[in-house]
Amino acid sequence: MLSVAVVPYLPYRPTSVAHGRVSCSTCSVRRACLPHSLAESPDVLDKLAYARKRVKVDDVLYRMGSPFESLYAVRTGFFESRTAVADGREQVTGFHMPGDIVGMDGLANGVHAAVVIAIAEAEVCVIPRARLEDQDVQRHVHGAMTREIGRAHDMMLALGTLRAEERLAAFLVGFSQRMRSLGYARDDFNVRMSRLAIGSYLGLSLETVCRMLGRLRDAGLITVKQKRICIVDLPRLRSVCGITEARRKADLSLRTREA
């Protein structure tokens, strides 16, 4: 059983700190982090930048129940967010990569509904709540929110209608897309998260994740070697998961042009 202690309403202890004003204009993930329109004007960028924060592996960015203080733009590293139901069961509700904005689960109630943990050495930009008043920042956050709504709906769809194999295929395709949009290879990557985390995210047991990976491997769509996964036949992998053609296209239009 996973054991992430839930300590509601406790101010998160600063994990590792590197505070001080910084600029987004030099950020490596600027393009991914900001809409192109904003990326042009440096003065807008600097409104976003406030402070950076380092988070070590397995350290907590914020806890479930802690008051909402700020959003975080992931600069480097990798996060995982979990939410819990009453009896201790909990689910991974998202993986967050450079360019993502994290913390929106606290917007609705002023209290975070999830706990966010670094699963790779990470650095984030802090966007304090007060800064959300700003017009340009708000527009930016607004965009992140619409994308989050879309992502959540896709997830509902996957959890509600897709079968284990399809969910996993969809997960891999999505992961591949995001990796590529960050400039990494899209057909050969390390999934940092454990089978347990993937399973939780997809509403499956970790054993099923293994089995379905095995099935996809046997079908010649991927190769699997522990955390390293290579996509051998992306088109066929796409055809496995029942992602809407229209939606997929729309998704791609958010990224750079298809190769």
Partner DNA sequence: CGTACCTTTGATAGAGTTCAAGAACGGTGG
Partner DNA sequence: CCACCGTTCTTGAACTCTATCAAAGGTACG
Q: What is the binding site for DNA (CB under 7 A)?
A: 163-165, 194-196, 199, 203-211, 213-214, 224-227
**Nearest to a copy of itself of 93, 181 (CB atom):** 93
- Which one of a copy of itself, DNA, none interacts with residue 213, CB within 5 to 8 A by kind? DNA
Binding mask 104-123 for a copy of itself (x = CB under 8 A): xx-xxx-x-xx---------
Piece of the chain touching a copy of itself by CB under 8 A; list 35-43, 51-59, 77-85, 181-189: 77-85
At closest approach, how far in Å is the CB of 83 from a copy of itself? 6
**Nearest to DNA of 114, 213 (CB atom):** 213
Measured in whole angstroms, the distance separating CA 49 from the mean position of its chain's CA atoms is 20
At closest approach, how far in Å is the CB of 215 from DNA? 9
Options 39, 137, 145, 232; binder of a copy of itself; rule CB under 8 A: 145
Piece of the chain touching a copy of itself by CB under 8 A; list 50-58, 86-94, 180-188, 216-224: 86-94
Spell 179-213 as b/e; 16+ CB within 10 A means b.
bbbeeeebeebebebebebbbbbbbbeeebbeebb
- Which one of a copy of itself, DNA, none interacts with residue 93, CB within 5 to 8 A by kind? a copy of itself
Is residue 73 involved in binding a copy of itself (CB under 8 A)? no
- Which one of DNA, a copy of itself, none interacts with residue 119, CB within 5 to 8 A by kind? none
Residue 220 has a CB neighbour count (10 Å cut-off) of 10
208-to-165, 168, 236 alpha-carbon distances in Å: 9, 10, 21
Options 161, 190, 228, 256; binder of a copy of itself; rule CB under 8 A: 161
- Which residues are at the interface with a copy of itself (CB under 8 A)? 8, 64-65, 83-87, 89-91, 93, 104-105, 107-109, 111, 113-114, 138, 142, 145-150, 152-153, 155-157, 159-162, 200-203, 242-247, 250-251, 253-254
